[in-house]
Amino acid sequence: MSRVKGGTVTHARHKKIVKAAKGYYGRRKNAFRTATQAVDKANQYATRDRKNRKRNFRALWIQRINAGVRAHDESLTYSRFINGLTLAGIEVDRKVLADLAVHEPEAFKAIVEQARGALPA
C-alpha cells in the first residue's frame, strides 16, 4: 500500500493563512508561522472592534442629537429631550433622530417641539 502524504492539505492550510495576511508588512505577509500569529491577532482585534463600533456610533448619534436639540432650544438637554419623547409616545431610535438632526432640521424641530410639549412645566 502506498503511503499518504499530507502535502496538499498542508499547502491549502498555509495558503489560506498567507492569503489572509496579504498586505501585511515584512515577513508577516509570507512566512507562515509569523503570518499565523498576525492573522490570529487581527481576528482578535476584529472581534473586539465589532462591539466597539456599535458603542462609537451610539455615542456619535447622541452627540448629534444633543447638538440638534440645543440648536433649537438652548435650555433643553439631551436627557430631557429623550424623556420628552418617551412621554410623548414617540418611538424613534437614536440613529434616525441623528440623521434627522443633520439632514432634516425642520422635521427634527417639529419632534423637539412635541418632546418639549410633553415635558412637565
Indicate whether 121 pLDDT > 80.
no
Question: What is the reported pLDDT for 38?
Answer: 97
Domains of the chain: 8-118 (1.10.1900.20)
User: Percent of the chain, pLDDT > 90?
Assistant: 86
Whole-structure pTM over 0.75, yes or no?
Answer: yes
Q: How far apart are CA 79 and CA 66, in angstroms?
A: 9
Q: What is the mean pLDDT of residues 93-110?
A: 95
Q: What is the mean pLDDT of residues 71-77?
A: 89
Q: Would you call 46 exposed, middle or buried from its count of C-beta atoms within 10 A (0-12, 13-18, 19+)?
A: exposed
Question: What is the reported pLDDT for 37?
Answer: 97
Backbone angles phi and psi of 74, in degrees to 5: -65, -25
